[in-house]
Copies of this chain bind each other. A is one copy, B any other.
Amino acid sequence: MKINQLNERALIAHISRLLARPGDNVVIGAGEDDCAVLDIGIGDYIVITTDMLHRKTDFPFQMSGRQIGWMSVAVNLSDLAAKGARPIGVVMAMGIPPDTELEFVDEIVKGMDECASKYGTQIIGGDTDAHDELTMAGTALGTVRKELLIRRSGAKVGDIVCVTGYPGSAGAALFALNRGIPPGQEVLKALFEPVPRIYEGIALAESRSVTSMMDISDGLALSLHDMSRAGNVGFKIYESKLPVLPYVKKLLKGDELLEAVVFTGGDFELLFTVAPDRIDRVRRSCPLTAIGEVIDRGVFIDRAGRLEELRARGYEHFKPAL
């Protein structure tokens, strides 16, 4: 069997099954969550995550070097944010075509540095390699107090489902670019210079009121399915409650709008669940929108009173979206 007959989730699950059983110091191991989490016998957990991006899939030609560098760091910080972790360092392995102009590399490095600095951390190391295709493999390291770690699992039936920001912004920009429409600045920035929700993640962890969390960079639908599987619960969200930028609502309608908001991915927002009696407290610590509730099983969307199953599709590396 060739690997493109599997989707990325199935491939990761398959790979994880081949690995040795996690040792006692591994709180969260391969394939389980946005990050791996290690217990090294101190008050904090060590949180680590890695993401590989490359020219063909992740860096459209309209992206500047600075934006490529920014995104390569942001995608990793977003995973730390989803565990409520505080970043302590980023390393970046860069595969660069040998005929690349040094000035372009400089811009990439400045973008990496800018993103790391903005979220309280820095580039502490890396590797350079001559590669036909520009390839950026970043790893972010963070810490979180043991009692504050938030996992993908932990949601209880009745909890309120929340998101930060405006899902669909990156998807709308991608839609516009694909159709040759000049996208608005706000959505283009969401696509090319995504904001990792580090400070929101820390605030949500410190609220001690969030029962589960992950980031939605692969799309809201896929993330709800991930959290459903991890926590053995279901989700019902309401189309009418989804927070969408006015520009996106103007650009897209109906199913195209839903596609951008729940399936396309690219938004570095946090998806999380909160017990109903804690929601006011959480609102005070982080801007959020309540979009639905945790149910017993299945993942559904209420579209003007009509309940539809929300399929597990979104951003996939190996298998094209169906």
Contact surface of A with B, Cβ cutoff 8 Å: 1-4, 6, 8, 11-12, 14-15, 18-20, 22-23, 25-26, 29-31, 35-36, 38, 40, 42, 44, 46, 48-54, 56-57, 88-89, 91-96, 98-103, 105-106, 109-110, 113, 116-117, 122-133, 135, 137, 139, 141, 143, 317-318
Q: Is the CB of B20 within 8 A of A109?
A: no
Pick from B1, B92, B98: contact of A102, CB under 8 Å:
B1
Which residues of B lie under 8 Å from residue A133 when comparing CB positions? 131-133
| Number of chain copies forming the complex | 2
Q: How far is the CA of A147 from the CA of B26 in the complex (A)?
A: 26
Known: A18-B106, A38-B124, A105-B15. A91 touches B130 (CB 8 A): no
Q: How far is the CA of A92 from the CA of B50 in the complex (A)?
A: 7
Known: A122-B20, A137-B52. A98 touches B4 (CB 8 A): yes
Which residues of B lie under 8 Å from residue A51 when comparing CB positions? 93, 127
Question: Of residues A52, A141, A143, which shows the largest number of chain B Cβ atoms within 10 Å of its Cβ?
Answer: A52
Q: How far is the CA of A128 from the CA of B9 in the complex (A)?
A: 9
Q: Is the CB of A30 within 8 A of B126?
A: yes
Distance in Å: Cβ of A55 to nearest Cβ of chain B: 10
Q: Is the CB of A100 within 8 A of B141?
A: no
Q: Is the CB of A36 within 8 A of B125?
A: yes
Q: Closest residue of chain B to A34, judged by CB?
A: B125
